[in-house]
Structure 1
Amino acid sequence: MTGRRVAFFDVDETLLNTKTMLAFWSYWRHHHAAHGPAVTSGGLTPAQLLTLPREEANRRFWQLFRGVRTEDLMEAGRRWYEEYRRGDGAVIVSALAELRRHQRRGDMVVLVSGSMRACLEPFAAELGADLLLCTEQEQSASGVLTGDVTQSMIGPAKARAVRSVMAGLGAQQRDCFAYGDHASDLPMLQSVGRPVLVGRDPVLRAAAARAGQWRVLPSVAGSLEALREDVAA
């Protein structure tokens, strides 16, 4: 596998047209109201977490699942995704079309996200992604979540993961791609030779303008099924 080109994709609002953790939390509370607290240990609801820096919000979010069995969360994630994927605006069409083009060229596709495996694994499986790098929740020996994480995948952590994958594959930085929509994706985008901005984040727009060579894709939402039909045609 040495020398392969790699395309790294953020997920939330880059490929999927949602913030997966918040969307899943709404689903979880509706279907599993008896499980876990409604607020973090600091008394914050998921909506209030959005007022915090992304890294801090992400860290506190996992407290909401303290005491939940991992297998229950994974099953709920599969059910949530099966429901979500049927929506008319489930995906960002331009980025997902790029992912399919990379696959047709034989490039390795890696999803890199601060979200949880329960939400992302069904999506990665449907796409046929080669690798999923995400935040990993800590669990006890009996398979119960502690509310902490063993690995975060936010901001600089994404860049470190991307560089590690490229080094392990012998992939050249100049030949690799990264796609992101948010300022927290900037370290990842700067780790490859071919960064692509999805949407209109002002921090990333400024970085793209300074570099003068970044591609910019529109963040128009569409149907997963409609995109599949377009590709087949």
Structure 2
Amino acid sequence: MNRTRVAFFDVDGTLTTSGSMFRLLAFYLAAMGHPPRVYEERRRELKAMAAIGCPREATNRAYFSGLQGVDAAVLAGVADAWFAAELSTGGYYHEPALAALRRHQERGDHVVLVSGSFPAPLRPIAADLGVEEVWCTEPEIVHGRHTGDLKGPPMIGAAKAEAVRTVLARRGAAPDDCVAYGDHVFDLPMFKAVGSAVVVGGDERLRTSARAHGWPLLPGTLPPPALPLPRTGPGAAARTRPAFHSSHSSFAPTSPTRYEMPETA
């Protein structure tokens, strides 16, 4: 009998060489005509929170609070243009992890992206990779605009493990037949929810854990190429959009209005 195998991939720093949230923010602010100092000030605020020991979930929420009032459709259009700009650099994907993802797809494994980022930047990535299920942080959007709040917990740490367990239960997959890829210590709960893990780069704590568990190691990412920023407003055409899951949403693959398939600051 064929066994269901699932491969779970973190995105930022694992499949890609850069973080989608900060890079999209820089691109969006430039597209809206803001000078570079606006982005730098926002980035410094978030980095300062991390430097004084704020939990990663808190910095993630702070990032989304900065989106209050942003038109979600405009941001989605900018995200498509941002992704095209990332691809134009020729160094967006992390080739060792991308090759692993392609191997899983070629042998018929179900591939799932699990990311602390959010649908706007993840949709074009998932569509480009041919991935049909993504679990991520879901911002609250009311009347077409971001409220600055989230609809559930950020897709970080324990939330990633819960997403993995949900996917395994719905697909009838045994954890021992499945694998997870990630680059950060916050991916450990996801790793422990499956039978095997692959550490991509990672800090010494994560690599120590990998050695203790016998997990394979892949090289870390190279510094990302400079991102070409727009000089005019957004006008990108919408791409085909996969369905998304947030950490709390129900699984309803036929509904186009939910994040059904399914790093954060």
For residues 113-170 of structure 1, the C-alpha deviation after alignment (integer angstroms, 9 at most, x for no partner) is 0001101100100100120111111011x11110011132111100000011001100
Partner of 1:216: 217
State the structure with bigger RCO (CA 8 A, min sep 6), 1 or 2.
2
Q: Does 1:97 align with 2:116?
A: no
Alpha carbons 1:91, 1:222 under 8 Å: kept = no
Q: Residues 166, 73 of structure 1: CA spacing in aligned structure 2 closer, same or farther, 3 A cutoff?
A: same
- What TM-score, normalized by structure 2, do the two folds share? 0.76
For residues 177-232 of structure 1, the C-alpha deviation after alignment (integer angstroms, 9 at most, x for no partner) is 10000011110011110111000321211211221x20111124499xxxxxxxxx
- Give 1:6's aligned amino acid: V
Partner of 2:192: 190
Q: How far apart, in 1, do the equivalents of 2:65 and 2:128 lie?
A: 29
- Give 1:148's aligned amino acid: D
Alpha carbons 1:70, 1:143 under 8 Å: kept = yes
Matches within 5 A, 1:1-233: 3-33=3-33, 45-51=45-51, 52-140=54-142, 142-151=143-152, 152-211=154-213, 213-221=214-222
Q: How far apart, in 2, do the equivalents of 1:148 and 1:8 lie?
A: 27
For residues 80-125 of structure 1, the C-alpha deviation after alignment (integer angstroms, 9 at most, x for no partner) is 0110112132111110000000000000000000001101100100
Aligned-residue offset at 1:3:
4.3
- Give 1:22's aligned amino acid: F
- Give 2:148's aligned amino acid: G
Runs of 4+ residues deviating >4 angstroms? 220-223
Structure 2 residue ranges without an equivalent (≥5):
225-265
Aligned-residue offset at 1:53:
3.0
Structure with higher strand content: 1
- What TM-score, normalized by structure 1, do the two folds share? 0.86
Q: Residues 33, 154 of structure 1: CA spacing in aligned structure 2 closer, same or farther, 3 A cutoff?
A: farther
Q: Provide the secondary structure at the position in 2 that maps to 1:124.
A: helix
Q: How far apart, in 2, do the equivalents of 1:220 and 1:165 lie?
A: 28
Q: How many residues align?
A: 215
CA RMSD, Structure 1 to Structure 2 (Å): 2.2
Structure with higher helix content: 1
More divergent stretch after superposition (185-194 vs 86-95): 86-95
